[in-house]
Amino acid sequence: MSEIEPSIDTIATQLVRLHRLRDRTMAQVKDRSGIDPAGFVVLFRLVCDGPMRSGALAEAVHSDASTVSRQVAQLVERGLVVRTADPDDGRATVLQVTDHGREVAARIRVRRQESVAVVTEQWSSEDRAVFAALLTRFVTDYDRARPLLAARTPALSTTENLS
């Protein structure tokens, strides 16, 4: 294996650290809201992209249909999403955010923005702008590279630890 640039190792380590911190935070949020963190992703995708079939939603959130079905059921039960007839095919249904769902999503978005503001309150506006641009670039490039990453990642044995 060739020598890895130190900044690459730092980025990889900090992404694992961020993921763990986010998981802990999201578990606490779920306890207060009753909505699974993955449900937030589904709700926001429907808010941003509009009504869509379950299969298209699963693709949009990079998940499998059965997982999205469970998340949607949770959102429907809470009155955040409804199933309506697909105007293009009456045999199928589309998922649509309710007014209540839009209100909840707006509150979550404000809370998320407030959280990021707290984390970055000691940063200059310039630092926040640079970070926003670099993070957007990283996520866009990560999404673009996902097929290559999936093809290149070898299966790990159960004794290997990524952290």
For 4-49, the pLDDT digits (tens) are 899 999 999 999 999 999 888 877 766 566 777 788 899 999 999 9
84, 96 contact by CB (below 8 A): yes
Q: Average pLDDT in the 98-123 region?
A: 94
The fraction of the chain above a pLDDT of 90, given in percent, is 65
pLDDT band at residue 162 under the 50/70/90 scheme? low
pLDDT band at residue 159 under the 50/70/90 scheme? low
pTM listed for this prediction: 0.77
142/148 Cα distance (integer angstroms): 10
Cβ density class 63-82: b for 16+ within 10 Å, e for less: beeeebeebbebbeebebbe
Q: Average pLDDT in the 124-132 region?
A: 98
Q: Give me the chain's average pLDDT, please.
A: 88
23/18 Cα distance (integer angstroms): 8
**Structure-model confidence comparison of residues 62 and 99, the more confident one:** 99
Residue type, 57: L
DSSP H helices in 78-153: 99-119, 125-152
